[in-house]
């Protein structure tokens, strides 16, 4: 018996409008989701994330400058904080714990990203944090913030070179406007002046440039992981910080910094609570971003 198969017309999926019993018309997408309620929910999430990021990193900056530039006085002796490795080590521990907690709550599923990518990404991630925290011993926090405002430049350049990304002309225009605005703010009314003998770029500014470059490398590598392996943000945060802890533990052991840090922390008990607060604000800010 021969059977004939006729081609059925293909239905194009598009948004539809449904009238509810109360007379209200609701617009649904092909999956049956209310578009208006989804937009409202997304806007609320955006507002919550914006407030969370702003508050966390605002206080993060205050605590960071308090730790790195504060004066530690014991009797007639005044000391400075020079334990950047230990500071970032505590920060990475808290970041890892927060990301693990979020993974347990949200259950994003298995992670298929190769560990060698996390190991490589953590090097640039860790280097950027160390350079940024070390720079604060040589420049003020406002200067660091202004310098970090130029972060889109290395992120875009290295995103093109490493991540293979393409940006439209408006993004290049916006980045140019940001840099121009930062330059105007820094050099307004000739407030930034240097003597003839002083270098154009000091050690603190060099550290900021290193931090910006490594931030760009980190962003490009993370974009590549998302593009090729669909890496979840929380898995990325957890694994990058775990690899960073491994590198930091080796560095602290080799330099012996921990043996000087422990007596310093005992002399100034306020230091440990500030370091914990520093780590918590960093972790919460990263969770809001992701």
Both tokens of 85, joined, read 């490795």
Residue 26: is its pLDDT beyond 90? Answer: no
Give the global pTM. 0.76
pLDDT in tens, 135-166: 877 877 667 777 777 777 887 887 787 767 78
Cβ-proximal residues to 211 (8 Å cutoff; 6+ apart), any chain: 127, 128, 129, 131, 132, 135, 148
Check residue 254 and give its pLDDT.
Answer: 96
pLDDT in tens, 30-69: 554 455 666 667 788 888 888 988 899 889 988 988 998 8
Using CA atoms, how far residue 290 sits from 45, 130, 134, in Å, is 12, 22, 26
């Amino acid at each position: 018996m021969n059977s004939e198969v006729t081609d059925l017309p293909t239905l194009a999926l598009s948004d539809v409008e449904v009238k509810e019993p109360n007379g209200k018309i609701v617009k649904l997408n092909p999956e049956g989701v209310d578009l208006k309620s989804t937009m409202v929910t997304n806007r609320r999430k955006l507002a919550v994330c914006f407030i969370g990021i702003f508050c966390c990193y605002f206080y993060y900056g205050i605590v960071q400058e308090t730790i790195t530039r504060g004066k530690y006085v014991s009797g007639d002796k005044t000391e400075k904080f020079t334990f950047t490795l230990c500071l970032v080590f505590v920060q990475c521990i808290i970041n890892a714990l927060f990301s693990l907690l979020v993974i347990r709550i949200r259950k994003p599923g298995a992670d298929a990203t190769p560990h060698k990518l996390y190991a490589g990404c953590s090097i640039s991630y860790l280097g950027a944090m160390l350079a940024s925290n070390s720079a604060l011993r040589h420049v003020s926090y406002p200067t660091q913030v202004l310098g970090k405002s130029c972060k889109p430049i290395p992120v875009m350049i290295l995103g093109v070179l490493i991540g293979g990304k393409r940006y439209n002309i408006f993004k290049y225009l916006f980045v140019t406007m940001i840099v121009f605005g930062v330059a105007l703010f820094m050099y307004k009314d000739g407030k930034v002046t240097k003597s003839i003998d002083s270098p154009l770029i000091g050690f603190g500014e060099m550290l900021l440039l290193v931090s910006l470059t490594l931030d760009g490398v980190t962003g490009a590598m993370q974009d590549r992981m998302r593009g090729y392996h669909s890496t979840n943000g929380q898995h990325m945060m957890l694994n990058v910080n775990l690899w960073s802890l491994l590198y930091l533990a080796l560095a602290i052991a080799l330099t012996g910094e921990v043996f000087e840090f422990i007596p310093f922390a005992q002399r100034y008990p306020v230091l440990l609570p500030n370091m914990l607060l520093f780590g918590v604000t960093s972790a919460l800010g990263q969770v809001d971003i992701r």
